[in-house]
Amino acid sequence: MNARFCMIAVMLWIITVAAAGWFFVTGWTAKGTDGRTDILLAPVERDMILGEMRHLLKAVHGVVTGLAGQDQPADRQQIEQAARAAGMGMAVDVNPAIMEKLPLPFKQMGMSIHRDMDALADAVANKETSQQILQRLASLTARCTTCHDMYRFSVGQ
């Protein structure tokens, strides 16, 4: 009887770990009507993620505005501050319940963008040229457009 109980417990543990792994990779998603993947979130979760995306867009605007300046120290400081504001420090307080609902490729793209915003800020501090900074920014925004082409948020809970 004990061996049978242990076998059932192990099987339940394996099923639980497999289910958790599945949701970590796939998130809470559904096939969208426009070919994209719907990420199903509660309204407050959706609003939070969209707010983070607006913050990223404002950071990109700050970088572009700084690049449009006369390459003065104040312009470079603006670029660095804008990029740093959207770096990994921005991603620190993400709610684990929301992260569990996001598919793995979405999480990977999002974290890479935050890391690269910090790298962009470091590049500005290290006096990379405006052209080099613009190339970094182009790489970042390419991931933004890829993500927007692949995913959308829907209220699902």
pLDDT 10s digits, 114-152: 999 999 999 999 999 999 999 999 999 999 999 999 999
- Say how many domains are in the chain: 1
126 belongs to a structural domain: yes
Whether residue 13 is contained in a domain is answered as no
Instruction: For residue 18, tell me if it sits in a domain.
Output: no
Over residues 82-98, the pLDDT tens digits come to 999 999 998 877 788 88
**Is there a contact between 112 and 87 (Cβ–Cβ < 8 Å)?**
no
Q: What is the pLDDT of residue 105?
A: 94
- Answer whether residue 12 is part of any domain: no
Say if 23 falls within a structural domain: no
Model pTM score: 0.81
Instruction: Note whether 38 and 156 are within 8 A (CB).
Output: yes
Domain residues for 98?
28-155
Query: What is the domain-level CATH number for residue 51?
Result: 1.20.120.10
Contact 66, 79 (CB under 8 A): yes
